[in-house]
Amino acid sequence: MWAEFRDFIARGNVMDMAVGIIIGAAFTAIVTSLVEDLINPFLGLIVGGIDFSGISFGLGDAQFMLGNFINAVIKFLIIAFVVFKLIRVVNKIGRMGQREVAAEPEAPAKPTTEELLTEIRDALRAR
Q: So where are the chain's domains?
A: 2-126
Q: How far apart are the C-alpha atoms of 123 and 121, rounded to whole Å? A: 5
What would the mean pLDDT of 102-124 be, rounded to a whole number?
A: 80
Report which of 65, 73, 64 is spatially closest to residue 35, judged by C-alpha positions. 73
Q: Which fold has domain 2-126?
A: 1.10.1200
- Percent of the chain whose predicted confidence (pLDDT) is above 70: 89
Q: What is the pTM of this model?
A: 0.50
Q: How far apart are the C-alpha atoms of 65 and 53, rounded to whole Å? A: 8
Q: Identify the pLDDT of residue 74.
A: 82
pLDDT of 102 above 60: no
Structure confidence by residue, pLDDT tens digits, 28-83: 888 888 877 887 777 778 777 666 777 888 898 998 988 888 888 888 888 788 77
